[in-house]
């Protein structure tokens, strides 16, 4: 005969295994939700699956593909899920018998998932979030559910039972109550996990739909093509930033923890505020307008002297001044507060959007629809102004207003209300620390003074005289310009400095100022050893 103690021990083993599985369902479900919201494609099962793919030998991959064909990924995820369930059950049992062994298992495998998430190609720090959620939530739920197995279980009675036999056994009643409580909480945990996972999946399906819609979009041909880029605009010096920055390597700066995924067919832009007519335009209407192409260099106010928060692209869009002309700003207006779908705002002088500069509502970047992270479906591009006061991505509203009435996102956080881009220049080659031998060395880089243009660039070695660099042909005043200078380098340690002069004759200052509140100043320099 099996003793009552042995039976209850066995049932508690089953229940602790169940607790482990439910805790993992809860934790992984919440992780899927986090992935759906903040880090698509970084769900813990998925990243572990990807890690396994990376680590498996070619023959195994071939075998799996030959066995399961295109279902190979689904099979892999199912296997990872099954393994996770077995591990979770084991963690439940061990957490019950030898706490905190179960939690240790959860933390160990959670750490593996975090590792898998952040070591993927193109992974950002946010991609660790789902795995961290899975680890922490599973550990907490496991502790709580296994804890329910311990409370108020009948205590072993020492000595003779003083109660008369006729009384109901309070231990047994409490046991039934505890069991019900345990099952309720376990079921609830598993249920929440499943719901959260479903929510995450829906959310990911939504973002994939936005990706797919963007990929399908064919942009109209420009009514006004960009001025041809002169052959002499690139000096073809290896190591100098390419004249046009590829979309993949274009710097990205924004406050969006999660890139807004806008359904372009739902997108509308409203022009509101101090206008005679409110104007509203949808995406199809915008694309039907005569679009213009222009090449403009965008820069971030946080770009340090010599930094790389700057890029040059050919944009396709519609002049904002033409839309504003329809809206007819009233005489007292002096600013446009542009707002993105996620609430971020920028304050742009009305004049910069109505003068002859090519301020546009852009839909295309280097021949393709705007990448999601660069503002799909529509963003602003305004030559001559830092991004934080002009380049609103995912833009949905232009509110015509006054600087003394509204303050934009960064202007309430220590940055200036106005942000014209400062004249600057950068040395791209030689790089600090590169091995150099005496003789001819090409010093080269880029210089920019958007909307004014560059007239000259000079280079100085140590404290010597400034020497005039060769300038590449300009694309326009709105783009950076390459420069180079051939240096007959003597052995020793040397410091190279650069300074630009803009088309108005202003010489780049040597006074070093930090990026806040309105852009860094100073001169880029690089120290090299020639030997
Ligand atoms: N919606 C939104 N637009 C934004 C920002 C932002 O945080 N949110 N950042 C701005 C800043 S500070 C810069 S420098 C540019 C950068 O544009 P990019 O990421 O396409 O290079 O976008 C601007 N537009
Ligand atoms: Mo910026």
Question: Would you state the structure tokens that stand for residue 370, as one six-digit string?
Answer: 């705007």
390 C-beta closer than 6 A to ligand 1: no
395 C-beta closer than 6 A to ligand 1: no
Residues 409, 443, single domain; the answer is no
Mean pLDDT computed over every residue of the chain: 90
Residues 272, 357, single domain; the answer is yes
Out of 413, 446, 474, a domain closes at 413
Residues 371, 460, single domain; the answer is no
Provide the pLDDT for residue 133. 93
Residues 404, 370, single domain; the answer is yes
Q: Which of the ligands is closest to the CA of residue 366?
A: 1
Q: Return the best residue to mutate from 254, 304, 377 for the ligand 1 pocket (most ligand atoms within 8 A of CB).
A: 254
Question: Per the domain annotation, does 68 fall within a domain?
Answer: yes
pLDDT tens, residue by residue, 383-427: 999 999 999 999 999 999 999 999 999 998 889 999 999 999 999
Out of 413, 448, 476, a domain closes at 413
**How many domains in the chain?**
3
Residues 390, 409, single domain; the answer is yes
Domain span holding position 402: 231-413
Residues 72, 95, single domain; the answer is yes
Residues 171, 86, single domain; the answer is yes
Residues 383, 446, single domain; the answer is no
CA torsion sign for 371, 227, 385, 331 is negative
Query: Ligand 1, closest atom to CA 393?
Result: 3
Question: Per the domain annotation, does 303 fall within a domain?
Answer: yes
Q: How far is the CA of 509 from the centre of ligand 2 (A)?
A: 21
Residues 27, 139, single domain; the answer is yes
Distance CA 39, CA 32 (A): 9
393 C-beta closer than 6 A to ligand 1: yes
Query: Ligand 1, closest atom to CA 254?
Result: 7
Question: Per the domain annotation, does 439 fall within a domain?
Answer: yes
Distance CA 337, CA 348 (A): 6
Q: Which of the ligands is closest to the CA of residue 515?
A: 2
What is the CATH number for 248?
3.90.420.10
Query: Ligand 1, closest atom to CA 340?
Result: 1
Q: Which of the ligands is closest to the CA of residue 260?
A: 1
- Side by side, which strands form the sheet with 424-429? 424-429, 439-448, 481-489, 470-471
Residues 440, 390, single domain; the answer is no
Q: How far is the CA of 287 from the centre of ligand 2 (A)?
A: 27
Residues 17, 54, single domain; the answer is yes
Residues 443, 395, single domain; the answer is no
Q: What is the mean pLDDT of residues 86-98?
A: 92
- Which residues have CB under 8 Å from 79's CB, separation 6+? none
Max intra-chain CA distance, the chain: 109
pTM for the model stands at: 0.73
Q: What is the mean pLDDT of residues 16-44?
A: 90
- Take atom 19 of ligand 1 and give the residue whose Cα is closest: 252
In the predicted model, is pLDDT for residue 200 greater than 80? yes
Question: Per the domain annotation, does 382 fall within a domain?
Answer: yes
What is the CATH number for 434?
2.60.40.650
Q: Return the best residue to mutate from 298, 339, 377, 391 for the ligand 1 pocket (most ligand atoms within 8 A of CB).
A: 391
pLDDT tens, residue by residue, 57-91: 777 777 777 777 767 777 888 888 999 999 999 99
Q: Which of the ligands is closest to the CA of residue 259?
A: 1
Q: How far is the CA of 517 from the centre of ligand 2 (A)?
A: 12
């Amino acid at each position: 005969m099996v003793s009552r103690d042995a039976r209850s021990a066995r049932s508690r083993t089953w229940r602790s295994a169940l607790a482990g599985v439910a805790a993992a369902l809860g934790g992984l479900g919440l992780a899927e939700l986090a992935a759906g919201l903040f880090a698509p494609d970084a769900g813990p099962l998925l990243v572990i699956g990807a890690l396994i793919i990376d680590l498996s030998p070619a023959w195994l991959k071939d075998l799996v593909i030959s066995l399961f064909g295109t279902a190979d990924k689904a099979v892999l995820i199912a296997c990872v899920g099954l393994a996770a369930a077995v591990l979770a059950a084991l963690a439940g049992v061990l957490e019950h018998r030898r706490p905190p062994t179960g939690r240790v298992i959860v933390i160990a495998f959670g750490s593996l998932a975090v590792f898998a998430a952040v070591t993927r190609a193109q992974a950002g720090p946010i991609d660790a979030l789902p795995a961290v959620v899975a680890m922490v939530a599973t550990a907490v739920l496991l502790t709580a559910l296994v804890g329910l197995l311990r409370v108020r279980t009948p205590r072993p009675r020492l000595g003779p039972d003083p109660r008369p036999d006729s009384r109901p056994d309070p231990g047994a009643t409490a046991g039934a109550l505890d069991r019900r409580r345990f099952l309720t909480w376990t079921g609830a945990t598993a249920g929440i996990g499943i719901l959260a996972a479903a929510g995450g999946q829906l959310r990911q399906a939504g973002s994939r739909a936005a990706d797919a819609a963007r990929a399908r979009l064919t942009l109209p041909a420009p009514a006004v093509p960009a001025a041809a880029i002169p052959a002499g605009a690139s000096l073809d010096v290896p190591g100098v930033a390419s004249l046009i920055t590829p979309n993949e390597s274009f710097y990205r700066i924004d406050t969006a923890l999660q890139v807004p995924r806008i359904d372009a067919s739902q997108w509308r832009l409203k022009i509101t505020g101090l206008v005679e007519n409110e104007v509203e335009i949808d995406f199809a209407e915008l694309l039907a307008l005569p679009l213009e192409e222009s090449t403009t260099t965008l820069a971030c106010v946080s770009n340090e002297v010599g930094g790389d928060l700057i890029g040059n692209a050919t944009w396709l869009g519609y002049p904002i001044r033409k839309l504003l002309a329809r809206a007819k700003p009233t005489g007292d207006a002096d600013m446009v507060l542009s707002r993105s779908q996620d609430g971020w705002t920028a304050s742009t002088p009305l004049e910069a959007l109505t003068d002859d500069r090519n301020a546009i509502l852009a839909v295309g970047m280097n021949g393709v629809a705007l990448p999601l992270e660069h503002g799909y479906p529509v963003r602003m591009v305004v030559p001559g102004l830092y991004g934080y006061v002009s380049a609103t991505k995912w833009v949905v509203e232009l509110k015509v207003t006054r600087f003394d009435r509204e303050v934009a996102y960064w202007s309430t956080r220590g940055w200036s209300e106005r942000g014209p881009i400062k004249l600057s220049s950068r040395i791209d080659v030689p790089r600090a620390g590169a091995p150099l031998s005496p003789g001819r060395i090409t010093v080269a880089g880029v210089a920019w003074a958007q909307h004014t243009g560059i007239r000259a660039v000079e280079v100085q070695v140590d404290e010597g005289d400034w020497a005039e660099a060769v300038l590449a042909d300009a694309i326009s005043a709105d783009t950076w310009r390459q420069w180079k200078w051939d240096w007959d380098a003597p052995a020793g340690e040397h410091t190279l400095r650069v300074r630009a002069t803009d088309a108005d004759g202003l010489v780049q200052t040597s006074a070093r100022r930090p990026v806040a509140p309105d852009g860094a100043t100073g001169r880029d320099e690089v120290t090299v050893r020639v030997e």
